[in-house]
Amino acid sequence: MAAQAFCAVHVVNHHLCSLAFVRGPSMLPAMNLAGDVVAVDKVSVRLGKVGPGDVVLMISPEDPRKDVAKRVVGMGGDSVTFLEDPGNSDASKTVVVPEGHVWVQGDNVYASRDSRHFGAVPYGLITGKIFCRSSKCYISTKSSCGPSP
């Protein structure tokens, strides 16, 4: 019985839907700096149902041991215009996203390492589409969510 339950949890977690903890300044204000728990849909990625505006969880192209959350800005064949150095200049650049790739950016352009730094990302690095987020939940003896007493 326990083996069957473990198998069911494994299948759901790796192929259908999972939870992840994301933190950092890259996705401010959409996600909290201190961290959010997000629900990740893994089916949409396999069905090719990821598009501009979606926030995705993906394997970092800079460090494959890390997962990062970014917003999809462009798909293969799209032209994307972005500020090269938003903190210091108004200079912009336009690129065409190669087929089979996506252009991703953090919502906080001043504190995000994204496609502006490492270029378009292979679609295969996307592990899921984030469809729900919740701020940290602190468990107390009252089993309520909210700030820790």
Residue 92: phi, psi to the nearest 5? -120, 165
Residue partners of 97: CB distance under 8 A and separation at least 6? 74, 75, 76, 77, 78, 79, 80, 103, 120
Q: Count CA within 13 A, CB hemisphere, residue 99.
A: 0
Q: State how far Cα 124 lies from the chain centre.
A: 13
Q: Catalytic: 89?
A: no
Cα 121 from Cα 105, distance rounded (Å) = 11
Are 47 and 27 spatial neighbours (Cβ–Cβ below 8 Å)? no
Work out whether strand 55-59 and strand 36-41 pair parallel, antiparallel, or are unpaired.
Answer: unpaired
Among residues 26, 42, 115, 129, the one annotated as catalytic is 26
Q: Catalytic: 66?
A: no
Among residues 70, 112, 115, 129, the one annotated as catalytic is 70
Residue partners of 10: CB distance under 8 A and separation at least 6? none
**Could you list the active site residues?**
26, 70
